[in-house]
Chains A and B, each alone.
Chain A
Amino acid sequence: MTKLSRRNFLYTTGAAAAATLASPLVARAGTDTIKVGGLHDLSGALDSTGVPMNQVFQLAIKEINDAGGLLGKQVEAVIYDPQSNMSLYSQYATQLALKDKVDVVMGGITSASRETIRPIFHRYNTFYFYNTQYEGGVCDRNEITLGTTPAQTVKRVIPYAMNLYGKKVYTVAADYNYGHITAAWVKRYVEENGGEVIATEFFPLDVAQFGSTISKIQGAKPDFVLSAMVGTSHLGFYRQWAAAGMKSQIPIVSTVYGAGGTEQVILTHEESDGIIASFGYFEAIDNPTNKAFLEKVAQEYPDKKWVMSEISEVTYEGMKIWADAVKEAGSTKRDALLEVLTSGKTYDMPAGKVKIDPKTQHAVRDVYIATCKDGVFGINETFPDSQPEDTQMVCDLIKDPKSNTQYEISL
């Protein structure tokens, strides 16, 4: 090996490349660590949502380690990028459960990805935290669900908007599970409050042209438009709505606008101003925990362009709550943790008070209504202790701990 021949060079660099490929991205710090899995899309169509979640996830772990770790061990993240691809989700989930043998997994963004990996974690008894707002109904003792469901947000924002604007509602929603279920809840709450949904339209996730719909809405003259539009193609709706000069005429209320933390950045202020939304977290929440949290995020990721949204903040919550339970239980065993988690303890989080409902293992949390102004949401109203009523209608894990399904809540 004195001369560096071309073949030798290729061979050695090839081997080096193979070695980098084969090791997960966080170097193993030895065997004596507690491993936690992270499954967020870091490339592909969902990366704009997945990257912030993953960053906050790592920040939470860093904080835990800086404070001395858990049970005398350091916490180590095993992170995979499912590339917005469902079959990679199922593979990495299996890998986390069987090969890496992690103690808990945080992750999954869309409901499709959750329903892909949830049964896998259930089968292999790998504790799972799903930290995204979703349509509700998951009933699985192996999963803790911390994001908001329609009964928490839609229930609050509909009467609020009807008071403000009037009783005639036009719903536009994404043509998939979440959109359909949200639209059904919207209809229910509008009617409960004595209003009327004059039309509901569903749009496939790849539709980017809304001219015909905007004309139809103009013809129908609703008091406000309720949007459950999802994804980047659907951002076209807000742009074309503003371009038609409709911003000053019919207000928009949304159940998802701002969920990913990138919408306010991609749209201009003229397009996004005045949109009303309801979530479990906004940057504007005024409490010391949140202030400290945002400062730390800004320190850790000074170049970040995204806005902290519910989905990312809840990912942080997931990690912190799990760590707190591990400390209290003195173990990483799922059943011991569940006992602590469902004991009714209240957690002080940037989003406010969070508690876990033992029946559904969903979060009972503060819900906020906010209006977008200059690209920033300002909070109008706070609803403390909002229960996941939709899931509570169908799921009781105390009575039926073996349950392993997502119920469809029929309205």
Chain B
Amino acid sequence: MDYTLVVALEMIRAIAWLVLLASGLAIIFGMMRIINFAHGEFLMLGGYTVVISTNAGVNEWVSILILAPVVVGVFGIIVERLVIQRLYGRILDSLLATWGLSMLMMGGVTMIFGNTVQGVSTPFGGMKIGAYQVPIYNFVLIGFAVLVLVAIWCVLKFTKAGLIARATMQNADMAEALGIRTRWVYMTTFGIGSAITGLAGGLLAPVTGVVPTMGMNLVGQSFITVITGGASVIAGTLSSATLLGTISQGVTFLTGPVYGDAALLVTALVLLRLLPQGITGRIFKRSL
């Protein structure tokens, strides 16, 4: 019984992890059809922000919740102005340019901050579930995953900015014709997507080793989650994260992490074959 509960909790945590990893990327990809290959390094930048500011004496929560999103968000806007804005509509060029950016960031962070930075510890400690102990921080991760999704949904659904964003997403030319400055919409979207990614990176900092190359292992999972989900930001991310997280963690518990990861990839392959436009290309079509 305890074990079932622990397994279930671990699955939910895995889903939350995928949601956090992928949300920022999903916004950028869903709204702008731009592939940000430096996504992993944006996460890394968030992690570095937290580690460095915490070591400099800033409160850990302030660094995670405020500094990480702000720093990465601003960095995202700069990148958008300098690079991405020249590449709209050139999905492949954007991929290559951001791949270059990813290497530049990895090398750059190594040069500036070095590759060994004192980490921050995980807050809260453990909690007993029967004979087992789980980190309380898992609940924090799950909570923030829910919060991020709800916040995106509220913004898209209830605010004027959300309406403009949705309009641009559906038909950029028409939106432009109606007097919306799509350039600003894109810039803001990229900034917000980056900020969410920064928050995710910040939240991951206490549970993983923060090193310049940490992004390399995260970018694959993030992409697969976003593409499997399809074009709608919330329904897509949530449905694919749920499916992939459950299957991969289930298999991990039964066999081991290799087959868990392999199961995630195979599931994504089969899904894409059956639903070539991602899950939300066929099901939940009209959702956000």
Direct chain A–B contact by Cβ atoms under 8 Å = yes
Question: Which residues of A pack against B, CB within 8 Å?
Answer: 43-45, 47-48, 51, 175, 201-204, 206-209, 211-213, 215-216, 218-219, 232-236, 239-240, 242-246, 249, 262, 265-268, 270-271, 305-306
B118 touches A235 (CB 8 A): no
B256 touches A202 (CB 8 A): yes
Is B208 on the interface with A (CB-CB < 8 A)?
yes
- Per-residue interface assignment for chain B, residues 100 to 121, with 1 indicating a CB less than 8 Å from any chain A CB and 0 otherwise: 0000000100100011111111
Supply 5 A–B pairs (Cβ within 8 Å), ascending by A.
A44-B213, A242-B121, A266-B210, A266-B211, A267-B209
Task: State the Cβ distance, A52 to closest chain B Cβ, in Å.
Answer: 9
A306 touches B3 (CB 8 A): no
B118 touches A265 (CB 8 A): yes
A249, B131: Cα distance in complex, Å: 12
Chain A residues with CB under 8 A of B107: 43
Interface size class of B (residues with CB under 8 A): 35 or more
Chain A residues with CB under 8 A of B57: none
Q: A208-B217, A212-B10, A239-B206 are in contact. Are A246 and B256 (CB under 8 A)?
A: no
Task: State the Cβ distance, B189 to closest chain A Cβ, in Å.
Answer: 29
Is B134 on the interface with A (CB-CB < 8 A)?
yes
Q: A48-B211, A203-B257 are in contact. Are A233 and B122 (CB under 8 A)?
A: no
B132 touches A218 (CB 8 A): yes
The 9 closest A-B pairs by CB, nearest first: A245-B126, A235-B209, A243-B122, A243-B135, A268-B121, A262-B116, A48-B115, A232-B209, A206-B217
Chain B residues with CB under 8 A of A44: 213
Chain A residues with CB under 8 A of B114: 305
Question: Which of B122, B214, B249 is the one whose CB lies under 8 Å from A242?
Answer: B122
Q: A233-B208, A239-B207, A267-B119 are in contact. Are A201 and B256 (CB under 8 A)?
A: yes
A243 touches B208 (CB 8 A): no
Q: How many A-B residue pairs have CB under 8 A?
A: 129
Q: A240-B207, A242-B122 are in contact. Are A48 and B116 (CB under 8 A)?
A: yes
Question: Which residues of B pack against A, CB within 8 Å?
Answer: 3, 6-7, 10, 13-14, 17, 107, 110, 114-122, 124-127, 131-135, 137-138, 206-211, 213-214, 216-217, 249, 252-253, 256-258, 260-261
Q: A232-B213, A236-B208 are in contact. Are A47 and B115 (CB under 8 A)?
A: yes
A245, B122: Cα distance in complex, Å: 10
Chain B residues with CB under 8 A of A209: 14, 17, 257
15 further A-B contacts with Cβ under 8 Å, apart from A45-B216, A212-B257, A267-B209, are: A45-B213, A201-B256, A202-B256, A202-B258, A211-B13, A212-B10, A212-B249, A215-B10, A239-B122, A240-B122, A243-B135, A245-B135, A266-B117, A267-B119, A268-B119
Chain A residues with CB under 8 A of B214: 208, 232-233
A233 touches B209 (CB 8 A): yes
Chain A residue at minimal CB-CB distance from B13: A211
Interface centre among B17, B117, B256 (most CB of A within 10 A): B256
Chain B residue at minimal CB-CB distance from A201: B256
Question: Which of B110, B119, B131, B258 is the one whose CB lies under 8 Å from A239?
Answer: B119
